[in-house]
Structure 1
Amino acid sequence: MVKDLDIDKLKHQLAEEGYAVIENVLDADQLAQARKAVEKQMEHELAHPLPLDDERHEDDDEIRAYYKKHYTVSEAEAERMVARVHQYRRDNAGTRWPVPIGKVSKNFLHLPTLFDDDQSQRVWNLLNKAPELIPLIEHPVVLPMVRHVMGQDCTLHDFQSTSIGPHTGGGAWHVDAPLGQIPEPLPEFPLTLQNVWLLDDFTPDNGATRVMPRSHKLRKPPPWGSGPLDGEVTLTAPAGSIAIWLSNTWHRSGPNTTDRQRRAILCNYNVSWLRGFADFTTSLPSEVIPTLSNEARYLLGFAARAPRTR
């Protein structure tokens, strides 16, 4: 697969258009393994949702309203998001954010695990729950492309799975965190690089990602909204392919008008000095860590953090 790729063409596509698609990267066995891992975890989390708690914080209504405004979440999921904030504070010595939730860095916030009124689903920190998928982060087709864009010294920002449910309307146009919270003009270079492993065929009708070619050169976020934009491109490809786009390329999930879900794994990389969405060094099963290559360990954040001073 690697020797058959026109790497220079792909690099040019990414630099000029802001996105690229590489078809049929995973073989049938690899695709089946990834699907099985995601299906298992999604079924488990649907059957065992985050329990609520009895705590009451003075900003609960503000937190609840934030998620209801920015995401299509049910009342039950909004309550779970309040409980997640409570848990986050317990994990951080009871520390509160110094600003309202709408001003908090997106790197510090959970996104809903159920959205589109519970029709769509997200699984956070998938590598902690399915470490058999770790080889994907150093895949020989993907990692050279990542390092071409991000530089050799890059790490993993996030690794999650999503399922866009049937008969859902699609997401809002955005650039990836933290760019949506940075004053314009945005940096000329991307801070993260998104790699999406397609677990199902991406088609125009089932929620395939939309991108705006060359929007990364505008150095600003898109206007808020989820409607079609003139010139947008739908990233269609068979299951087992990978779609790549720069963090500053405008993109969104498309509407799914079919009767089936559309699933993917999101594997996001960042420059090593940027704080990621997940701390893999504290969440991976301890028995897995010695089995990993040095390259995989560094991508997961080992030796990519401030040293302890003595």
Structure 2
Amino acid sequence: MTHIVRREVVGRAQGGTKQVPHGVVVLDTVQAVQAVIRLRVGWRLLPAGGEQEDRQRGGKRAVHGPGDGGRVVILPIPSRVALGKSHVSLVGYCGNPMCEVECMALADYEVYPDVDNLMADIKKYDLFEHVVELEAYGMTVVPPEKMQASEGFIERLRYAIMKACEERNGIELGYHTTAKPDMSVVGKNSWDLLEEDEVFVEAAINPVNLTLVRWLLGQSAVFSGQTWIIKGEGAPGIGLHSDSHGIPPGAGQIAHMCNASWICTDYDGEEDGPTLFVPGSHHYGRATLPHEADTSSTPFRFVPLIGKAGSLAIWNGATWHASAVRSNPGIRVTLVQNYMRSYMRVQHDYESTSPQLLEKYPELARVIGKALYPYEDSRNPDYGRVGQMMKTGTDPFA
């Protein structure tokens, strides 16, 4: 978090409010020392009284402190500080536990709108830790209580997945805790779910989901497709791989696609057959090689995905992952969602999505990728679409 304080220049002293011009706050020695230690932003201590040169500001300022040997703290820029008897009290909070001054919210300046909107949502939904994990590890798991989903959402989603599987494949699964599916059947006909049930639309445009998707892929991220994973007892695992298919080595500076999976049944341990991740592998900028894929012999360390039903697991498409054998009874149910940057070839063309659905869910029109087809009329390009597509060539957050 950037330690730049807001422009309000008011200090609260005991017994009233004190106007503090130009970022100069008069504190006693104890207060001043604690301010410097607790804020760690390089404030300077000057003797109280007289005229002091402020080289940071290129001028001189008369500062008048208490006559008991107090000190003057020269703040980096105008600031607001609460004054107490022997300490600097909390005024605002920037998200950094070491900071006890109200820090400037850079988004308030509205000079970088594609990022400003994201930062506002990251703060709104308390996603700072998850953004850091995406950058550092290439994956994160957002718990149900942060997902802003409606009551009963995950139960409806799980039911819709199982119902679609049953109807498309002519089978009966039963209850998810006791189901014993034929694994050669349940994986068939699993794609193109968006218009199967409106709960799939809710999953695709969930605000927390889209905030993290757009952090990875920019504001023009497009929805590529949804599929289910239904994994029964004894189902085998799969080897380490990357989802960034077709991205050549050396293109790993940014994410080109991501996987945002809704966990519809509890992942309590490896017995549930969860996804396995190699943290930080997205930094390698390439897919796995054949001799690296076998989880029983790979030299790369991996961790299991653990999360409760209703959680969202999201990862950079370049992050290496696998899955474990499932030994628990019942089935693991997951809705896998792929999102891509606008220059990628998506898995499904959603241009023909029901107009009624688009009217009911305005955010859907944005994420299904209208901007993918700037030349829908081959003779007359739509410049509104072209402009957005071109913007991403200069800004990864566009």
Question: Which residue of 2 is the match for residue 185 of structure 1?
Answer: 250
Per mean C-alpha deviation after superposition, the further-off stretch among 116-125 and 269-278 is 116-125
User: Could you say what secondary structure the match of 1:237 adopts?
Assistant: coil
Structure 1 residue corresponding to 2:194, chosen from 113, 127, 130: 127
Matched, 1:216 2:282: yes
Question: How many corresponding residue pairs?
Answer: 241
Q: Deviations over 1:231-281 (max 9, x none)?
A: 201011110001011000001222111221101111111111212011122
Matched, 1:248 2:313: no
The Cα shift of 1:287 comes to 3.6
More strand by share: 2
Assess if the C-alpha contact under 8 Å between 1:120 and 1:165 holds in 2.
no
Question: Which residue of 2 is the match for residue 74 of structure 1?
Answer: none
The Cα shift of 1:126 comes to 0.8
Question: Which residue of 2 is the match for residue 270 of structure 1?
Answer: 340
* Structure 1 vs Structure 2 CA RMSD: 2.5
Following superposition of structure 1 onto structure 2, how do residues 64-75 of structure 1 map, counting pairs within 5 Å?
Answer: none
Cα distance 1:33–1:2, how it changes in 2: closer, same or farther (>3 A)? farther
Cα distance 1:33–1:16, how it changes in 2: closer, same or farther (>3 A)? same
Question: Which residue of 1 is the match for residue 224 of structure 2?
Answer: 157
User: Could you say what secondary structure the match of 1:13 adopts?
Assistant: helix
In the alignment, the residues of structure 1 paired with residue 331 and residue 265 of structure 2 have an alpha-carbon distance, to the nearest angstrom, of: 9
Structure 2 unmatched ranges of 5 or more = 1-120, 172-180, 381-398
User: Could you say what secondary structure the match of 2:314 adopts?
Assistant: strand
In the alignment, the residues of structure 2 paired with residue 172 and residue 186 of structure 1 have an alpha-carbon distance, to the nearest angstrom, of: 22
**If you compute each CA radius of gyration, which structure gives the higher value, 1 or 2?**
2
Where do 4+ consecutive residues of structure 1 move more than 6 Å?
1-4
TM-score by length of 1: 0.71
Q: Deviations over 1:193-234 (max 9, x none)?
A: 111100101132111110100111111212333424442010
Per mean C-alpha deviation after superposition, the further-off stretch among 133-142 and 7-16 is 133-142
User: Could you say what secondary structure the match of 2:337 adopts?
Assistant: strand
In the alignment, the residues of structure 2 paired with residue 239 and residue 165 of structure 1 have an alpha-carbon distance, to the nearest angstrom, of: 16
Per mean C-alpha deviation after superposition, the further-off stretch among 26-35 and 137-146 is 26-35
Question: Which residue of 1 is the match for residue 112 of structure 2?
Answer: none
Matched, 1:238 2:305: no
In the alignment, the residues of structure 2 paired with residue 5 and residue 153 of structure 1 have an alpha-carbon distance, to the nearest angstrom, of: 20
Question: Which residue of 1 is the match for residue 50 of structure 2?
Answer: none
Assess if the C-alpha contact under 8 Å between 2:142 and 2:313 holds in 1.
yes
Identity %: 22
The Cα shift of 1:115 comes to 9.2
In the alignment, the residues of structure 1 paired with residue 185 and residue 161 of structure 2 have an alpha-carbon distance, to the nearest angstrom, of: 17
In the alignment, the residues of structure 1 paired with residue 312 and residue 255 of structure 2 have an alpha-carbon distance, to the nearest angstrom, of: 19
Letter in 1 for 2:239: A
Cα distance 1:185–1:304, how it changes in 2: closer, same or farther (>3 A)? closer
Letter in 2 for 1:173: L
More helix by share: 1
Structure 2 residue corresponding to 1:140, chosen from 207, 222, 245: 207
The Cα shift of 1:149 comes to 1.4
Matched, 1:289 2:354: no
Cα distance 1:119–1:226, how it changes in 2: closer, same or farther (>3 A)? farther
Q: Deviations over 1:103-133 (max 9, x none)?
A: xxxxxxxxxxx99544655610110322332
User: Could you say what secondary structure the match of 1:206 adopts?
Assistant: coil
Letter in 1 for 2:368: L
Structure 2 residue corresponding to 1:195, chosen from 252, 260, 266: 260
Q: Deviations over 1:157-193 (max 9, x none)?
A: 1112211222011112111142xx3432343211101
Question: Which residue of 1 is the match for residue 43 of structure 2?
Answer: none
Question: Which residue of 2 is the match for residue 21 of structure 1?
Answer: 141
Cα distance 1:172–1:36, how it changes in 2: closer, same or farther (>3 A)? same
The Cα shift of 1:22 comes to 0.6
Assess if the C-alpha contact under 8 Å between 1:119 and 1:165 holds in 2.
no
Structure 1 unmatched ranges of 5 or more = 49-113
